Amino acid sequence: MGEYIKIDEVEVGMVADQDVKNPQGAVLLKKGIELTERHLKIFKTWGVKTVCIKDDSAETARPDGVSKDEFVDLKIAELKKEMDEKFLPHEGNEPMQVIKQSVFRYRSQLVTKTCA
């Protein structure tokens, strides 16, 4: 379960744990999406006061007996599988593969930092 955070405390790269809606109830962003600077500007424009952010602490908690390097390798393998599944419809599209590689590289760095 996520935690509601004031819009001014939300940071780029956090993941929405619930749909983000404007005060009238219109969905501005579906849950599970990583927030960008553009999202934050839109939320502020529409008067969004809080956003429910995914709590990754359980996902990045290393089990006893597993080394940091083993855990990072496991998480990066999970990330690769996720990326492969998401980009499967674009398998023959070279520009989309470049995007996939860029996103994978960025998210791998985040995994390495948060699993330390």
Closest by alpha carbon to 57, among 92, 15, 89? 15
Q: In terms of CATH, what superfamily is 3-53?
A: Molybdopterin biosynthesis moea protein, domain 2 (3.90.105.10)
pLDDT per residue as tens digits for the range 82-109: 999 989 999 999 999 999 999 999 888 8
Domain ranges of the chain: 3-53, 68-114
Residue numbers of the chain with a pLDDT score lower than 50: none
pLDDT of residue 69: 87
pLDDT of residue 38: 94
How many C-beta atoms lie closer than 10 Å to residue 77's C-beta?
10
- Which residues, in sequence order, are CB contacts of 111 under 8 Å at separation 6+? 60, 72, 75, 76, 79
pLDDT of residue 59: 59
Evaluate if pTM is beyond 0.85: no
